[in-house]
Structure 1
Amino acid sequence: MATIKDVAARAGVSISTVSHVLNHTRRVSEEATRNVLEAVSALNYAPNSVARSLKVNRTRTLGLLVTASTNPFFAEVVKGVEDYAFSQGYSLILCNTENQFERQRHYLRMLMEKRVDGLLVMCTDLDEAIQELMRSYQHVPQVVMDWGGSSDFANVINDNARNGAYLAARYLLQMGHRHIACISGQLHKATTQLRLDGVRDALAELDLSLADDLIFEGDYESQSGFDAMQQILALPQRPTAVFAFDDPMAMGALCAAHLAGVKVPDDLSIMGYDDTELARFTSPPLTTINHPKAELGKTAVELLMARIRNKELATESLTVKPELVVRQSVAAPRR
């Protein structure tokens, strides 16, 4: 394997000149720069990133903890993070935690051992134990995404879940629906409760309320949406609309309705949340709430970069703006 000495010898320059060319730390003549780059290419030279990071105390690497990278919403945010990080010359280490504390703790420690320059955490909830562990690493800049809380040690980007759910429920009400069922996420999750509050806010404007027996607990995955819809279709008095708290559950609900011979939206309207890429390609295309995923990822990296450059910056909380996306899975109820 070629060394920096080999590059210097082939280019006919000093080792320090090679270092300046590769690290852009000092102006080098065009001829010397060209000779160094030609030598690097000819020798297939790869700098020792570990040694360099120890010297400059920077690895140009970011860590990302995500609840489930297979979930379409998380996957699209991860793409936004990775694209922007790459454009800024940073590599990304992705860790899929499945919302399990032991995995979260393991990956956090691993990322700290690898001396990442900054940490991104994307999840719907952070329990106190993992918050305390993150706080113990607060010397490393951190940004938390998609979490309805605040923090004294990390920047936080809130998903505005209450407002997003309010927009969804208000649209269903404007279309004439009064008997609305919800397929929620896990009821112990803060995000789920915020979305339920948003539904209740919209109903309250018409002096209506959300009955407990119209809340069907899911887990933000397609199978739970399918199972919940089967329960809904078996009700003696079927609701005219179903609001699923994310697109995968809405897609599961669409599938269950189709297999039962229920036409959407003629017989039953279905609303999703997140506006994932696949929402445009369901049958019918899914009416949903857009959660700006690429913007979320880009903003998170921008915040993190700012903290990396200046660790004295105060932490702050930002809130994204959800928007209604009208497609073809919602219609006025039949009289």
Structure 2
Amino acid sequence: MATMKDIARLAGVSTSTVSHVINKSRYVSEEISERVNRAAQELNYAPSALARSLKVNRTKTIGMLVTTSTNPFFGEVVKGVERSCYHQGYNLILCNTEGDNERMKASINTLLQKRVDGLLLMCSTLEGERIDVFERYPDIPVVVMDWGPMLFTSDKIQDNSLRGGYMATKYLIDSGHKEVGCITGPLIRHQAQMRYEGYKRAINEAGLDFNPNWIVEADFECEGGYEAFNKILSKGKLPSSIFVCNDMMAMGVINAANEKGIKIPEDVSLIGYDDIHIAKFMSPSLTTIHQPKYRLGKAAVETLLKKLEKETEEAQVVQLEPTLVERASVKVLNQ
């Protein structure tokens, strides 16, 4: 592999002159610059990204940790992150934690050793965790995406899940439903708890009764929604509507209902949460709460770059607001 010394020898100039031409760090006459560039081309010289990163103390690389899930929500967020990195001239290293705490910590160590400029974390296992390694790298900015309280300093990008849960439940109530069930995510997770709190707020505001048989905690996956619907069904009469706290569980509910000959929305109305890409292709197409996944990824990258450029010192919280997407899975009763 050719070096700057090889180029200097072929062009008949000093190594420092070659460095100034290639790095554009000082004015060099047009005639000499042309000689250097021609020599570099002849020798197939490729500048070392590692050497340059050591010189400027930047690798133009961002590390991202994400929890494994069958939920395409994560893939849609990663797409926003990757595209934003590309437009900003950064590379992305993606690590999958498999939901394992030790693997998560090992991945963080690996990314820091590879001298990433900053970290994006989208791991539910981080909630309430103290990550000691961050104390050894105080200059590496960290942005946490879509999860709850952290025991380390970081910027945070989150969806307003409390408002989203309230909007979903209120939509069912405004559509004439007085029987509203809820299939929650795991309530140890901040976002699942906030969506459930939004549900309770709307129920209380409307003066409706809570029926514990219609409230089931599940796992944010298709299988969890499937089992939760069958659990509600086993306890007796179904409610006229159910707020399912993410679209993946709603898919499981639709499958379980089909098996039992229960029609949606004729027999029970459903509203989901996330608005993943396939939600509109379900049968029936799913009414849901849209979470701005691409903007979540884009905002995370922009926030991290602001920290890298020292535009702000304080930890920032960026909250993205959900919106309602009406499709075909909710029957209006009050018309």
* TM-score, with length taken from structure 1: 0.89
**Equivalent residue, structure 1, for 2:79:** 79
Correspondence 1:92 to 2:87: no
Letter aligned with residue 214 of structure 1: W
**Equivalent residue, structure 2, for 1:105:** 105
**How far apart are the structure 1 equivalents of 2:33 and 2:233?**
71
Distance 1:291 1:44, change over 3 A: farther
Cα drift, residue 216 of structure 1: 1.7
Letter aligned with residue 317 of structure 1: V
**How far apart are the structure 1 equivalents of 2:284 and 2:102?**
40
**Equivalent residue, structure 1, for 2:230:** 230
Secondary structure of residue in 2 paired with 1:169:
helix
Letter aligned with residue 200 of structure 1: K
Secondary structure of residue in 1 paired with 2:64:
strand
Check the 8 A contact 2:129/2:150 in 1, yes or no.
no
Cα drift, residue 85 of structure 1: 0.8
| Partner deviation per Cα, 1:82-127 (whole Å, 9 max, x = no partner) | 1111111111111111332101110111111111111111134623
Check the 8 A contact 2:8/2:18 in 1, yes or no.
yes
Secondary structure of residue in 2 paired with 1:80:
helix
**How far apart are the structure 1 equivalents of 2:279 and 2:34?**
50
Cα drift, residue 258 of structure 1: 2.1
Pairing 1:41-190 to 2, within 5 Å after superposition: 43-68=43-68, 70-124=70-124, 126-149=126-149, 153-190=153-190
| Partner deviation per Cα, 1:129-158 (whole Å, 9 max, x = no partner) | 344444553321111110233676211112
Distance 1:291 1:10, change over 3 A: farther
Check the 8 A contact 1:143/1:154 in 2, yes or no.
yes
Check the 8 A contact 2:70/2:221 in 1, yes or no.
no
Most deviating of 224-233 and 113-122: 224-233
**How far apart are the structure 2 equivalents of 1:303 and 1:218?**
32
Which consecutive residues of structure 1, in runs of 5 or more, have no partner in the other structure? none
| Partner deviation per Cα, 1:235-286 (whole Å, 9 max, x = no partner) | 4211111221111111121122223222211122111111111112111111
**Equivalent residue, structure 2, for 1:2:** 2
Most deviating of 70-79 and 151-160: 151-160
Letter aligned with residue 116 of structure 1: V
Check the 8 A contact 2:250/2:270 in 1, yes or no.
yes
Secondary structure of residue in 2 paired with 1:89:
coil
**Equivalent residue, structure 1, for 2:319:** 319
Letter aligned with residue 294 of structure 1: Y
**How far apart are the structure 1 equivalents of 2:246 and 2:282?**
14
**Equivalent residue, structure 2, for 1:288:** 288
**How far apart are the structure 2 equivalents of 1:307 and 1:79?**
22
Most deviating of 84-93 and 210-219: 210-219
**How far apart are the structure 2 equivalents of 1:322 and 1:284?**
22
Cα drift, residue 31 of structure 1: 6.7
* RMSD over aligned Cα atoms: 2.7
Cα drift, residue 316 of structure 1: 1.5
Q: Percent identity?
A: 47
Secondary structure of residue in 1 paired with 2:126:
coil
**How far apart are the structure 2 equivalents of 1:44 and 1:19?**
16
Pairing 1:9-24 to 2, within 5 Å after superposition: 15-20=15-20, 22-24=22-24
Q: Number of residues paired by the alignment?
A: 335
Pairing 1:191-210 to 2, within 5 Å after superposition: 191-210=191-210
**Equivalent residue, structure 2, for 1:219:** 219
Distance 1:113 1:332, change over 3 A: same
Which consecutive residues of structure 2, in runs of 5 or more, have no partner in the other structure? none
Check the 8 A contact 1:251/1:282 in 2, yes or no.
yes
Letter aligned with residue 326 of structure 1: E
* TM-score, with length taken from structure 2: 0.89
Distance 1:43 1:178, change over 3 A: farther
**How far apart are the structure 2 equivalents of 1:286 and 1:34?**
62
Most deviating of 174-183 and 298-307: 174-183
**How far apart are the structure 2 equivalents of 1:240 and 1:39?**
76
**How far apart are the structure 2 equivalents of 1:38 and 1:70?**
52
Letter aligned with residue 61 of structure 1: T
Distance 1:143 1:22, change over 3 A: farther
Distance 1:323 1:7, change over 3 A: farther
Cα drift, residue 232 of structure 1: 2.8
